[in-house]
Chain A
Amino acid sequence: MKVSCFERLLALGIIVSLFIPACGGGATSPEPTQAASPPTTLPEVKPTMASTGPVTVLEWSGYELQEFWQPFADAHPDTTVDFSFFAEDAEAFAKLQTGFQADLVHPCNSWWKLYAENGLVQPIDTSRLKNWSGIIEVLAEEGQIDGKQYFIPWDWGYESILVRTDKVKEVPDSWADLWDPQYAGHVSLWDSGESNFIMTALSLGISPWQATPEQQKQVEEKLIEIKPNLLTYWVDFTEIPQIVGSGEAWLVANAWPDAYTTLLAEGVPVEYIEPKEGRLGWVCGYGISSQAQHVDLAYEYLDALIAPQSMANLANGYSYGAANVEALPLINPDYIQALQLDQPDVMNRTVFFQALTEEQRQIFTSVWDAVKAAP
Chain B
Amino acid sequence: MYTRSRVAVLMGPPVLWLALLFLLPMAIMAVFTFRAGTFPPERDVFTFEHYREFLGNTPFQWLLWRSALVALATSVLSLIFAYPIAYFLAFRAGAMQMTLLTILIVPAWTSYLLRILAWKLILGANGLLSSFLLSIGLIEEGSRFLLYSPSAVVVTLVYVWIPFVTLPIFSALQRIDRSLLEAATDLGCAGWEAFLRITLPLSLPGVAAGFFFVFIPTLGEWVTPSLVGGVNGVMYGNLIQDQFVRALNWPLGSLMSLVMLVLVVIQIVLFSRIIRLSDLAGI
Give the B-binding residues of A (Cβ under 8 A). Answer: 6, 14-15, 18-19, 21-23, 25-26, 31, 36-37, 88, 90-91, 93-94, 97-98, 118, 185, 191-193, 227, 230-233, 235, 246-248, 361-362, 365-366, 368-370, 372-375
Tally the A-B contacts, defined by beta carbons under 8 Å: 106
Instruction: From the candidates A14, A26, A94, A248, name the one contacting B144 in the complex (CB within 8 A).
Output: A248
CB-based nearest B residue for A193: B246
Interfacial chain A residues near B27, Cβ < 8 Å: 18-19, 21-22
Interface bits B206-247 vs A (CB < 8 Å: 1, else 0)? 000000000000000000001001111010001100110111
CB-based nearest A residue for B246: A90
B258 nearest CB across to chain A (Å)? 13
Most B CB atoms within 10 A — which of A21, A22, A247?
A22
> At the interface, yes or no: B30 with Cβ under 8 Å from chain A?
yes
Q: Are B231 and A22 in contact (CB under 8 A)?
A: no
Q: Are A362 and B126 in contact (CB under 8 A)?
A: no
> At the interface, yes or no: B108 with Cβ under 8 Å from chain A?
no
> At the interface, yes or no: B62 with Cβ under 8 Å from chain A?
yes
Interfacial chain B residues near A26, Cβ < 8 Å: 35, 40, 43-44
A243 nearest CB across to chain B (Å)? 9
> At the interface, yes or no: B77 with Cβ under 8 Å from chain A?
no
Q: Are B40 and A31 in contact (CB under 8 A)?
A: yes
Q: Which of B81-106 contact A (CB under 8 A)?
A: none
Give the A-binding residues of B (Cβ under 8 A). Answer: 4, 15, 19, 23-24, 27-28, 30-31, 35, 38-41, 43-44, 57, 59-60, 62-63, 66, 124-126, 142, 144, 148, 226, 229-232, 234, 238-239, 242-243, 245-249
A25 to B43, CA, bound (A): 11
Instruction: From the candidates B39, B148, B238, name the one contacting A232 in the complex (CB within 8 A).
Output: B148
Instruction: From the candidates B62, B124, B234, name the one contacting A248 in the complex (CB within 8 A).
Output: B124
B244 nearest CB across to chain A (Å)? 9
Q: Are A231 and B245 in contact (CB under 8 A)?
A: no
Interfacial chain B residues near A21, Cβ < 8 Å: 24, 27-28
Interfacial chain A residues near B39, Cβ < 8 Å: 36, 97-98, 118
Q: Are B23 and A14 in contact (CB under 8 A)?
A: yes
Interfacial chain A residues near B28, Cβ < 8 Å: 21-22, 25
A268 nearest CB across to chain B (Å)? 14
A285 nearest CB across to chain B (Å)? 21
With A14-B15, A14-B23, A192-B246 known, 16 other A-B pairs at CB within 8 A are A21-B24, A26-B43, A36-B41, A90-B248, A93-B248, A193-B246, A230-B230, A233-B231, A246-B125, A247-B126, A248-B124, A361-B248, A372-B242, A374-B59, A375-B62, A375-B66
CB-based nearest A residue for B228: A232
A247 to B142, CA, bound (A): 10
Interfacial chain B residues near A25, Cβ < 8 Å: 28, 31
Q: Are A369 and B247 in contact (CB under 8 A)?
A: yes
Q: Are A23 and B31 in contact (CB under 8 A)?
A: yes
Interfacial chain A residues near B59, Cβ < 8 Å: 370, 373-375
Q: Are B234 and A373 in contact (CB under 8 A)?
A: yes
Interfacial chain A residues near B43, Cβ < 8 Å: 26
Q: Are A94 and B226 in contact (CB under 8 A)?
A: no
Interfacial chain B residues near A15, Cβ < 8 Å: 23
B124 nearest CB across to chain A (Å)? 7
Interfacial chain A residues near B142, Cβ < 8 Å: 247-248
